[in-house]
A and B are shown apart, each in its own frame.
Chain A
Amino acid sequence: MASAKATINLKLKVWRQKDNKSQGGFKEYDAKNVSPDASFLEMLDAVNEELIKKGEEPILFDHDCREGICGSCGFMINGNAHGPQKSTTVCQLHMRVFKDGETLVLEPWRASAFPILKDLVVDRSAFDRIIKSGGYISVNTGNAQDANNIPIPKPDADEAFMSATCIGCGACVASCKNASAALFTSAKIQHMALLPQGQVERAQRALDMTAQMDAEGFGACSTTGACSAACPKDISLINIATMNRELLKATITKKEEHTGGGDG
Chain B
Amino acid sequence: MSVKLDSKIPGGSIDEKWTKHKFNMKLVNPANKRKHSVIVIGTGLAGASAAASLGELGYKVKAFCVHESPRRAHSVAAQGGINAAKNYQNDGDSVYRLFYDTVKGGDFRAREANVHRLAEVSVNIIDQAVASGVPLAREYGGLLSNRSFGGSQVSRTFYARGQTGQQLLLGAYSSMMRQVDLGTVELYTRREMLDLVVVDGKARGVIIRNLLTGEIESHEADAVIVASGGYSNVFYLSTNAMACAVTAAWKAHKKGAYFANPCYTQIHPTCIPVHGENQSKLTLMSESLRNDGRVWAPAKQGDKRTANEIPDAERDYYLERVYPSFGNLAPRDVASRQAKYRVDEGHGALGEKAVFLDFRDSIKRLGEDKVAERYGNLFQMYEKITGENPYKQPMRIFPAPHYTMGGLWVDYNLESTIPGLFVAGEANFSDHGANRLGASALMQGLADGYFVLPYTISNYFANTKLEKITTTNDAFKHAANETQNDLNKFLSVKGSRTVESFHKELGHIMWEKCGMARDKAGLTEAISKIQNLRKEFHSNVNVPGEGKGINNELEKAGRVADFIELGELMCRDALVREESCGGHFRSEHQVDGEAKRDDEKFCHVAAWEWNGSADKTQTRHQEELTFENVHLATRSYK
- A160 CA to B171 CA, complexed, in Å: 13
Tell me whether B144 and A147 are in contact (CB under 8 A). yes
B167 close to A (CB within 8 Å):
yes
Tell me whether B140 and A145 are in contact (CB under 8 A). no
B180 close to A (CB within 8 Å):
yes
Q: How far is the CB of A207 from chain B (nearest CB, A)?
A: 14
- A118 CA to B546 CA, complexed, in Å: 14
Which of chain A's residues have a CB closer than 8 A to the CB of B558?
Answer: none
State which of A19, A35, A94, A139 has its C-beta within 8 Å of the C-beta of B385: A94
A80 close to B (CB within 8 Å):
no
Q: Given known contacts A69-B166, A70-B74, A94-B384, is B280 in contact with A39 (CB within 8 Å)? A: yes
A177 close to B (CB within 8 Å):
no
- A56 CA to B553 CA, complexed, in Å: 12
Q: Given known contacts A65-B77, A148-B144, is B138 in contact with A124 (CB within 8 Å)? A: no
- A52 CA to B497 CA, complexed, in Å: 9
A-facing residues in B518-568 (Cβ within 8 Å): 542, 544-545, 549-550, 552-553
Which of chain A's residues have a CB closer than 8 A to the CB of B142?
Answer: 151-154, 157
Which of chain A's residues have a CB closer than 8 A to the CB of B314?
Answer: none
Q: Given known contacts A117-B550, A118-B549, is B126 in contact with A1 (CB within 8 Å)? A: no
Q: How far is the CB of B202 from chain A (nearest CB, A)?
A: 26
- A215 CA to B352 CA, complexed, in Å: 55
Tell me whether A70 and B241 are in contact (CB under 8 A). yes
Tell me whether B131 and A60 are in contact (CB under 8 A). no
A67 close to B (CB within 8 Å):
yes
Which of chain B's residues have a CB closer than 8 A to the CB of A133?
Answer: 181
Give chain A's interface residue range (CB within 8 Å of chain B): 35 or more
> How many interface contacts (CB-CB < 8 Å) are there between A and B?
235
Which of chain B's residues have a CB closer than 8 A to the CB of A152?
Answer: 138, 142
Which of chain A's residues have a CB closer than 8 A to the CB of B380?
Answer: 87
Q: Given known contacts A1-B352, A137-B132, is B175 in contact with A71 (CB within 8 Å)? A: no
Q: How far is the CB of A204 from chain B (nearest CB, A)?
A: 12
Q: How far is the CB of B596 from chain A (nearest CB, A)?
A: 36
Q: How far is the CB of A97 from chain B (nearest CB, A)?
A: 9
Which of chain B's residues have a CB closer than 8 A to the CB of A30?
Answer: none
Tell me whether A125 and B68 are in contact (CB under 8 A). yes
Tell me whether B178 and A138 are in contact (CB under 8 A). yes
Task: Choose, from B271-279, B580-588, B607-615, the stretch at the interface.
Answer: B271-279
Tell me whether B174 and A137 are in contact (CB under 8 A). yes
The chain A residue sitting closest to B386, CB to CB, is: A37
Q: Mark A20-52, 1 if CB is under 8 A from B, else 0.
A: 000000000000000111110111011001001
The chain B residue sitting closest to A153, CB to CB, is: B142
A221 close to B (CB within 8 Å):
no
Tell me whether B385 and A92 are in contact (CB under 8 A). yes
Tell me whether B53 and A141 are in contact (CB under 8 A). yes
A98 close to B (CB within 8 Å):
no
A-facing residues in B86-104 (Cβ within 8 Å): 86, 88
Q: How far is the CB of A59 from chain B (nearest CB, A)?
A: 10
Main secondary structure, interface of A, reads loop
- A143 CA to B133 CA, complexed, in Å: 13
B311 close to A (CB within 8 Å):
no
A142 close to B (CB within 8 Å):
yes
Which of chain B's residues have a CB closer than 8 A to the CB of A142?
Answer: 124, 128, 450-451
Which of chain B's residues have a CB closer than 8 A to the CB of A125?
Answer: 68-69, 189
State which of B178, B242, B553 has its C-beta within 8 Å of the C-beta of A64: B242
B281 close to A (CB within 8 Å):
yes
- A146 CA to B128 CA, complexed, in Å: 9
A-facing residues in B490-535 (Cβ within 8 Å): 498, 500-501
The chain A residue sitting closest to B451, CB to CB, is: A141
State which of A62, A72, A131 has its C-beta within 8 Å of the C-beta of B177: A131
Q: Given known contacts A57-B545, A65-B241, is B68 in contact with A124 (CB within 8 Å)? A: yes
B357 close to A (CB within 8 Å):
no
Tell me whether B127 and A197 are in contact (CB under 8 A). no
Task: Choose, from A104-112, A162-170, A239-247, the stretch at the interface.
Answer: A162-170
B454 close to A (CB within 8 Å):
yes
Tell me whether A139 and B544 are in contact (CB under 8 A). no
- A168 CA to B387 CA, complexed, in Å: 26
Tell me whether A139 and B128 are in contact (CB under 8 A). yes
Q: Given known contacts A136-B177, A167-B166, is B86 in contact with A147 (CB within 8 Å)? A: yes
Q: How far is the CB of A118 from chain B (nearest CB, A)?
A: 5
B350 close to A (CB within 8 Å):
yes
A84 close to B (CB within 8 Å):
no
B141 close to A (CB within 8 Å):
yes
Tell me whether A144 and B130 are in contact (CB under 8 A). yes
A-facing residues in B261-320 (Cβ within 8 Å): 275-276, 278-281, 283-284
Tell me whether B143 and A151 are in contact (CB under 8 A). yes
Which of chain B's residues have a CB closer than 8 A to the CB of A154?
Answer: 138-140, 142
* 12 examples of A-B residue contacts, CB within 8 angstroms: A35-B278, A57-B545, A65-B77, A65-B241, A68-B384, A118-B550, A141-B53, A141-B56, A145-B127, A148-B88, A164-B134, A164-B160
Top 9 closest pairs, chain A to chain B, by CB: A151-B142, A144-B131, A136-B174, A144-B127, A161-B135, A147-B130, A141-B53, A136-B178, A65-B241
